[in-house]
Amino acid sequence: MSEQVAARTNAHPLDPLTPAELAQAVALIKADERFGARMRFVMVNLLEPAKETVRAFTPGAPIERAALAVILDNAAGATYEVSVSLTAGAVSQFKQIPGVQPSIIPAEIDEIQGVVKSNPDVQAALARRGLTDLTLIDVAPLMAGYYGGDDLPPNCRFLRTVLQFRESEDDSGDAHPIDGLHVLVDLNNQVVLRVEDHELLPIPPERGDFAAHRVSPLRDDVRPLDIVQPEGVSFTIDGWEVGWQKWSFRVGFNHREGLTLHQIAYQDGDRRRPLIYRASMPEMTVPYGDTSLTQYRKNFFDAGEYGMGLMANSLELGCDCLGEIHYFDGYVCHDKGEVETIKNAICLHEEDFSLLWKHRDEVRRSRRLVISFIATVGNYDYGFYWYFYQDGQIQFEIKLTGLVATGAHRPGSESPFGTSLTETLYAPNHQHFFCVRLDTEIDGSANSVVEVDTVADPIGESNPYGNAFYTRLTTLATEQAAQRIIDPFAARYWQISNPNSRNKMGKPVGYKLLPGENTLPFAHREASVAKRAGYMWKHLWVTPYRPDENYPAGDYPNQHPGGDGLPRWTAADRPVANEDIVVWYVMGSNHIPRLEDWPIMPVATIGFALKPSGFFDQNPALDVPPSMGDHCSH
């Protein structure tokens, strides 16, 4: 099949694939003779053009559009990457990727419900626990991980599942885990491989209600809080391009990463100054710290094993976002090639943010532009927020909420590796590691990273009073040297600079990456998750840009033994000073559950900031006008 598509003139090379383009890609792949009867689509994403092509693009010029699909063949247990030229209407590559397993397909989760519940051994195990009504049993998937010793055939694509009980349709299964019972399921052949019935533990009886109709009484003193912009918003939208307060960037969205930002730049007088070519969060890992047979195999790669874009929510005005909102839809492809539109997947709005600057009676209020999306992956909900400020600052923040994972224990006992929530219910200790990928271009593509530590000057001739301190700058010259961890005692930050562009003082222009809350893994290096998510062991990595190096734990972390991604790439110890570089920042959130995290977890946050540091010659927010109106009059 060859479907010719007219050259597109009203688009940009980085625009996400439209529903029509996704459908076209699916049709072209299905028409290819290599597409088998039991092949399924895992994902279809934009195949982004080369940087040179994007930078050379002028509005209205014809562009080449291409898609990259990941295909799963259930018959052979094989994975394929298929490239499609949408402009030419042809499949350009149909390549098998040996020895890997792609991310989970939502249809697979639906299919295993019946497979597990209809198994006689599972039914017998449930009956031993007094459970015979299968309509009140949920089968919750756990990604297989890699532990060895499973004695499974080669290329076996499988899930480990746990079961939960619900008292009623609106009950939370997380309140009633059927602990000690696990079922391994062959996803390709839809059969139960093994039922592991380790221990007959009590099923916690207390409900975990949090829906409004189940909570009584509700507070009656919460008055309306409205955000009003009578003259409209200050941002502009042109397709997928956003402009606001001298900022400009392009919005992207894909199956794996969700929200992506492209070509972030700042208009400094008559100069458009590039800062970041592409920004995204390509991976996150959640290692659990409990040794029980249920919990120790909980180690999730939420982007690489599930897909953050696939799990994106449709956001609601007044609930997820407040104020004058502009939404972007997201588009994803399902296993049979069905295209889904996720309405309002991305939210864009302005927020008042207290003071921008002040001295005595001269004061300016700050506002920020917020672009965000929220993904629900299993029991957790994650909000991802990029903030742009009038003083040239960028922040990234993650908001964690949802339900803590749970397990059961006997009355009167407690797990040393978790927090008891009720007499028989506990939440295991765990961590969340997020990796942000920043393809920087600070005033141009050749950038360096400089580590900046604050050092106390020894008492002596240069410091006779013992009060002096200075900054020690170390240029990170190679990939091995650029594997760094935070040091709050040195007030450490990392300056991303352009040694070829200078400010008025003759210093390289730059932005500094300021860490926020962070930690390192508590898993030992020998643990499975420590090998599979090797990127967790450093807070900063720097690599030379390569178009095929996008995911810090590798392209296919599902069932992978480990060692891929950043640890493998950086073993080459390539130069990264004054090069086209990618900066990877890793954040770790340590979660020792609290009673207050149940039955639903209040939002916790983690993030970092990028602040101009010698990028401008003075405060770039001097020209922000005083606030108008009665609320700010003297």
Dist CA 598 CA 32 (whole Å): 51
- State the amino acid at position 132 in one-letter form: T
Q: Count of alpha carbons within 13 Å of 157, Cβ hemisphere only?
A: 26
- CA distance linking residue 235 with residue 217, whole number of Å: 41
Return all residues near 588 (Cβ < 8 A) that are at least 6 apart. 431, 432, 433, 434, 518, 519, 520, 521, 536, 539
- 451 within 8 A of 494, measured Cβ to Cβ: yes
Cβ neighbours of residue 228 closer than 8 Å, sequence gap 6 or more: none
Catalytic residue list contains 121:
no
- Residue 86's CB is within 10 A of a number of other CB atoms, namely 23
d(Cα 426, Cα 600) in Å, to the nearest integer?
Answer: 14
DSSP, collapsed to helix, strand or coil, labels residue 630 as helix
389 catalytic residue (yes or no): no
What are the residues whose beta carbons fall under 8 Å from the beta carbon of 59, sequence distance 6 or more? 12
Tokens coding 72: 């799963």
- Alpha carbons 205 and 169: distance in angstroms, whole number: 15
Active-site residue, selected from the candidate residues 138, 302, 439, 555: 302
From 380, 387, 493, 585, active-site residue: 380
Q: How far is CA 136 from CA 126, 160, 197, 205, 326, in A?
A: 11, 20, 19, 14, 40
H/E stretch holding 117: helix 106-117
Gap between the Cα atoms of 58 and 380, Å rounded: 42
What are 418's two structure tokens?
């978790």
| CA angle at 512 for the pair 506 and 517, rounded to the nearest 5° | 160
Which three-class secondary structure state does DSSP give residue 309?
A: coil
Q: Which residues are catalytic?
A: 302, 380
